[in-house]
Structure 1
Amino acid sequence: MGHSQADKARSRERILTEAATQIRDKGLDAVSIGSLMQRVKLTHGGFYGHFASRSDLIAAALQRALAAGEAAAHASRDPDKPVSLNSMARSYLSRAHRDSRKSGCAIAALISDVGRADEECRAVMEPHIEAFIAKVAEVLDDDGDVRAIMAVSAMIGALAISRVITDEKRSDAVLRTVRDGVIAMAADE
């Protein structure tokens, strides 16, 4: 008995959602097709009815993870307050964000993995980084985007580093130091 297109779409969504969760938590290499399909209660052979290859799945799951991180950031903003570099830095470089690897910024969680990945994965993440830079440039009114590139690089790097450091006070110091430096960029206008 065949499956309807709606059933197939729901199965694909379950696969993508689970794969995106896995890569955000454990990285791109953590996804095993066999265990992924088992977790979503589908057969290993059925995978190829949804994706051409593991690479195809990883690129789609990465896109899903990046979009979910952006949606979470957007949802956490107060719509009644204008976006400022101060508010962006305080939210991005916070303990709560550091401690939410599974739901926070997928760029910071996966930047090193994607840097070593194939061109397809890098092409998936690149526009998200460019959009982050563009948003910061807009907030800074930075036409040449030099300060925006510095701010975004500092924020992504600090978040990633703070997640590695096991001493919570030192990790907090990394976040605080970079947050203060990024906020000072806006004050230097």
Structure 2
Amino acid sequence: MKVSRAEAAQNRERIIDTAAKLFRERGFDGIGVADLMKSAGMTHGGFYGHFASKEDLMAQASMHALEGSLNTLRQVVEHDRENALAIIASTYLSTTHRDQRGEGCAMAALGAEAARHGSPLRAAFTQGVRTTVELITELVTGRTRRAKHQRALTIYASMVGALVLARAVEDEALSAEILESVLASIVPEAD
């Protein structure tokens, strides 16, 4: 039975949504195409009608996840620009975010794996870093645009690194301490 263009587009979006979540939960190598398609409620055979390869899906799912995170950050800025950095940092550096890998930051979940791949996957992560740092640059103070940009890079790298470390350790107290320490360095009154 032939599907309409609208149904094909919906199926493609469902595959990308499912992949974005499962890749963040399990890593790029932690799930195969057959299981991914099954999780999306589709058959393995339909995969290549939507994507050239698993690498193609990895790039598109990563871009989708990164754009979703950026949209969330933009909503915070639109809602409360004055306190946006504190809200973003405290939400990002929370135990809830740490524990929700499938819903959380693709950069923290997959950045190290993306470094082992080529373009276009790395291009998606590059764009994710650039746009997120641009947004944070608008929220920090500094004497020059360059100083603000450097501060934004430091903040973003600190948050991503802290989340990676907090997820990696098995000691719950140490994990929480990592998150709290980095939050205090970004938002001193959180101390």
TM bracket, shorter-chain basis: 0.7 to 0.9
- Identity among equivalent positions (%) equals 35
Which of 155, 176, 182 is the aligned partner of 2:180?
176
Distance in 1 separating the partners of 2:136 and 2:39: 39
Specify the alignment match of 1:162 in structure 2. 166
- What secondary structure sits across from 1:9 in the alignment? helix
Q: Identify unmatched segments of 5+ residues in structure 1.
A: 185-189
1:114-149 Cα distance to aligned partner (Å, 9 max, x none) = 111222111001111112211222111341112221
* C-alpha deviation, 1:74, in angstroms: 4.6
1:19–1:31 contact (8 Å) kept in structure 2? no
One-letter amino acid of the counterpart of residue 64, structure 2: R
- What secondary structure sits across from 1:98 in the alignment? helix
Residue pairs, 1:22-41, within 5 angstroms: 22-41=22-41
- What secondary structure sits across from 1:123 in the alignment? helix
Residue pairs, 1:106-125, within 5 angstroms: 106-125=106-125
1:63–1:124 contact (8 Å) kept in structure 2? yes
Distance in 2 separating the partners of 1:80 and 1:72: 12
Q: Identify unmatched segments of 5+ residues in structure 2.
A: none
* C-alpha deviation, 1:43, in angstroms: 2.8
Distance in 2 separating the partners of 1:46 and 1:19: 14
1:67 aligns with 2:67: yes
Distance in 1 separating the partners of 2:75 and 2:84: 16
Distance in 1 separating the partners of 2:138 and 2:78: 18
One-letter amino acid of the counterpart of residue 45, structure 2: G
Distance 1:105 1:73, change over 3 A: farther
* C-alpha deviation, 1:32, in angstroms: 1.1
- What secondary structure sits across from 2:79 in the alignment? coil
Distance 1:161 1:100, change over 3 A: same
1:91–1:97 contact (8 Å) kept in structure 2? yes
Distance 1:61 1:75, change over 3 A: same
Question: 81-90 vs 9-18, which deviates more?
Answer: 81-90
Specify the alignment match of 1:46 in structure 2. 46
- What secondary structure sits across from 2:139 in the alignment? helix
- Compute the TM-score of the two structures, normalised by the length of structure 2: 0.86
- Compute the TM-score of the two structures, normalised by the length of structure 1: 0.87
Question: 28-37 vs 114-123, which deviates more?
Answer: 28-37
